[in-house]
Chains A and B, each alone.
Chain A
Amino acid sequence: MATLVPIDGPAANPDWLSGWRAGPGNGTAAAPDWLPPVRAEAAGRFAARGLPNRRIEDWRYTNLAQLTGLELDWAPAPAEVAKESLPALVFGREADCRLVLVNGQVRPALSAVPALPEGTILTSLAEALATGHPGVADLLRERVTVDDGALKALNDSWLEDGYVLIVPEDVTVDLPIEILSVGTGGALPPAYQPRNLIIAGARSRVTVVEHHVGLCIGGYFANVVTDVAAGPEAIVRHCKVQDESKEAIHVALLDATLGRDAMFDSFCFTLGGRISRNELRVSLDGPGAHCRLNGAYLVGGHQHCDHTTAVDHAAPETHSDQLYKGVLDGRARAVFQGKVVVRQDAQQVEGHQMSRALLLSETSEVNTKPELFIHADDVQCSHGATAGDLDAEALFYLRSRGVPEGQARQLLVEAFLNEAIDAVALAGMRLPLEQNVARWMGERPQPTP
């Protein structure tokens, strides 16, 4: 077990970190020698920074102050979860390949992992660390020391469990791999920080579907970090459905590096969470690398959701495309921050970004900050952003053809989001996502006319 350095961090409520100071609690697997000092270094980094606050430019629109008011259970005991209580799968059928995490810990008994193509590994981080898989150690050691904000440092200070997926060179994994992450709540809200790794070798192909759900009404704090390394010509598709409990705080950072001609396709569908943030950092390191980052969100009540992306065009002939669309109701707030950086000498780059928000209520709020930082000249970059109500003319068109207003609105909202959903590469995912949209529209409190 790691011994952590003493903390003098500037937290509003000094008590809320007391559990964290004790360090990784369960010690399920023996940690390699290099790990404790790395954790301690990260703990120092977090202590020095404290939680991000709104004075930090990247967190200008998202306030985590609520977190310091919570007394958290930093090392929750494994919760009892019956296999039958696990939610219906995003595919709407029996799991082909599913790894289940409960409060950030991999639970083999609840999972179903069939035989994968030769050399492909799908396991827990605890297991990978215990067996000393060289690829895992190399990538982790490279990534954990990267200073990328306080919450990543918090995750770096833990490094206990999470999922690990390794696909060797030239291997195509046909089966979509589902990762079901369950939050259970508890007497004290659990805090968990899974660290996930996806390593895709040259010319490999793999699709991961991450499904985050809450099996409780209460809150919890999930601080997820996922590292993705895609080798030359690899294709990694990542689809995330975030349907956490409505009281949960969900913060996720995905950091992907792409080799030559590699492709990373991400789709994030946000429904749940009291406060949620999905941050993507994609580094297009190899010439010809390409990423597509799409998202759709539906938030209401007092929900706050934040989608933040940063794409770094570090090599020539790299491409990026982003499309985020969202619908807000009630007193919900949504944030989209997208940064596109084109480095000097990264010529013949294309970077496009679009963010659209639909406000359905008087009290919802959307804040958008798309940024372009261009240091090369042979580029084509653009961004667009819109915010507003449904198009009155489109509504009138439907009304004039006898469609009742409620139904007309629902049709338009579905059509609006489907533009983003249609881009999901995994065909089997589209229908369940569209069904979710319809359900959400059906459940939302009807505004009094």
Chain B
Amino acid sequence: MAATAQTVAQVRDLGKYKHGWETEIEMETAPKGLNEDIVRFISARKDEPDWMLDWRLKAYRHWLTMEEPTWAMVDYPAIDFQDIYYYAAPKSTAGPKSLDEVDPELLRTYEKLGIPLKEQEVLAGVQGAPRVAVDAVFDSVSVATTFKKELESHGVIFCSISEALQNHPELVRKYLGTVVPYTDNFYATLNSAVFSDGSFVYIPPGVHCPMELSTYFRINAKDTGQFERTLIIADEGSYVSYLEGCTAPMRDENQLHAAVVELVTLKDAEIKYSTVQNWYPGDENGKGGIYNFVTKRGACRGDDSKIRWTQVETGSAITWKYPSCILQGDNSVGEFYSVAITNNAQQADTGTKMIHLGRNTRSRIISKGISAGRARNTYRGLVRMGPKAAEGRNFTQCDSLLIGDRCGAHTVPYIESRNRTAKVEHEATTSRIGEDQLFYCRQRGIGEEDAVALIVNGFCKEVLQELPMEFAVEAQKLVSISLEGSVG
């Protein structure tokens, strides 16, 4: 009841993007543009080991030979990669020792976002509420990580990737770029060259991470690109649930966000990775908004390991994102649950790849696309059964919902099977909200917009229930707010 009432209230109150404000904070930036010196500058700024700089430079040089991909069903003006700040950091946070040293303005930013950075705030919360350790990334740098001590007592490493490069270089070196190599694709290569920060998680063998880990990304400064890099390693028999949220201020210009996320699960390990992406989507006419060009991939290296991606994509002017699973270990499992909502002039081209290599590997894809206004929403996915994926199993379901006669919904799945004993099933449907469903709700006194929100929430339910509880509530509200103004 509470959530529904809140949703209704929020739909009424919030006509606009609620995270659209900007924090006035002193920033330190590298000069605009990209060249080898900028790459060196970023690396030096972070005091990185030589091998890291070499890797970045290799990536940068490779990037120069690459062309921007054009195959996605998205249109946008050419990006001037020389007109972007590749490094922007809050000035006062050149290595905060504790939360007290963090600029209070910044903490207020995260408070506004509803992200409890301060541990006591979480502890003062409702009794029995799940605790969440948060790593907050502001523009290019990680500003604070909470619950570090308690996590350390379990042997869990949860810190920014720059910190990990200082304290655990061997782990970073062993895994960085092994799932998404620096040559992978245009944006991943760019990220490899200029990534500024991100989260690093290592769960030691046999540890069930005692709390949810979470990262909040915020782009604040103007004309900056955010290039964060996340690396999560779940060692044998471990488990971790990781949440990711993103917001940005409202601006007329488009901003670039090109992140890379790499997940590795060893034998019997499991990673649950959830995203609620709510970058600024631009205004009704498609002015401004974030270009979200993200490469996310997980490798189930060990037998019986599992990776589960859950995403709720409501923001961004353009989303270009395909969280994937490489199922290498025998009996490994990959899952992908996605809700992508586009309204007004938003464009999303998103989906997943399930690459079955090991025996008896299983994958499941549930994708729900909702398109309203003049938006375009594309599901693009690949399921590949390798010759050795005996008894492999995939089930895919992609449903699209159309709201309004000027939007588009597209489905582009690729299904490749090279194993006789593997079984692949794919089904997709596209339709609009049934007149009869709407009529049923209206007849019972539910307003049109609320009825649509209700039906859409029902349509997405299968995915939303995969989210951790506190995210599920937020996501449900987001779904309603994102579709505001799309009816009547």
Contact = CB atoms under 8 A, between A and B. Distances in A.
Given A378-B432, A386-B423, A369 B412 contact: yes
Interface string B421-451: 1111111111110000000000000000000
A382 B416 contact: no
A385 B426 contact: yes
A377 B456 CA distance: 15
B411 A385 contact: no
Nearest to A61: B416
B42 to A, nearest CB: 34
3 tightest Cβ-Cβ pairs between the two chains A and B: A388-B423, A377-B402, A387-B417
B361 to A, nearest CB: 14
A243 B414 CA distance: 28
B431 A372 contact: no
A13 interface: no
Contacts of A289: none
A374 B430 contact: yes
- Interface of chain B, helix or strand or loop or mixed? strand
A383 interface: yes
B413 A370 contact: yes
A270 interface: no
Nearest to A335: B416
Contact of A373 (B408, B423, B425, B427): B408
A417 interface: no
A366 B420 CA distance: 10
A229 to B, nearest CB: 29
A377 B417 contact: no
A365 interface: yes
B420 A389 contact: yes
Nearest to B400: A374
Contacts of A376: 402, 405
B168 interface: no
- Interface of chain A, helix or strand or loop or mixed? strand
Contact of A374 (B410, B415, B417): B410
Interface stretch (A154-162, A176-184, A355-363): A355-363
A368 B413 CA distance: 8
B299 interface: no
Nearest to A387: B417
Given A372-B430, A378-B405, A382-B427, 14 more contacts: A359-B417, A363-B387, A369-B413, A372-B409, A375-B407, A379-B430, A380-B431, A381-B431, A382-B428, A383-B427, A384-B426, A386-B426, A388-B423, A389-B420
A360 B417 CA distance: 12
Interface of B: 71, 385, 387, 400, 402-432
B410 A387 contact: no
A10 B467 CA distance: 52
Given A374-B408, A388-B423, A357 B417 contact: yes
A223 interface: no
A344 B371 CA distance: 14
A372 B403 CA distance: 17
A359 B422 CA distance: 9
Chain B CB count within 10 A is highest, among A345, A363, A385, for A385
B415 A369 contact: yes
B405 A377 contact: yes
Contacts of B430: 372, 374, 379-382
A357 B408 CA distance: 30
Chain B CB count within 10 A is highest, among A371, A388, A389, for A388
Interface of A: 57, 344-345, 347, 357, 359-389
Contacts of A388: 417, 420-424
A192 B431 CA distance: 44
Contact of A371 (B407, B412, B416, B422): B412
Contacts of B420: 359-362, 364, 388-389
A384 B402 contact: no
B428 A370 contact: yes
Contact of A379 (B410, B418, B431): B431
B7 to A, nearest CB: 24
A386 B385 CA distance: 12
A387 B424 contact: yes
Nearest to B425: A386
A386 B428 contact: no
B347 to A, nearest CB: 13
Contact of A385 (B387, B421, B424): B424
Nearest to B415: A368
Contacts of A363: 387
A374 B416 contact: no
A366 B410 contact: no
A361 B415 CA distance: 18
Contacts of A57: 71
A371 B432 contact: no
A155 to B, nearest CB: 27
Given A345-B405, A382-B427, A373 B417 contact: no
Contacts of B406: 344
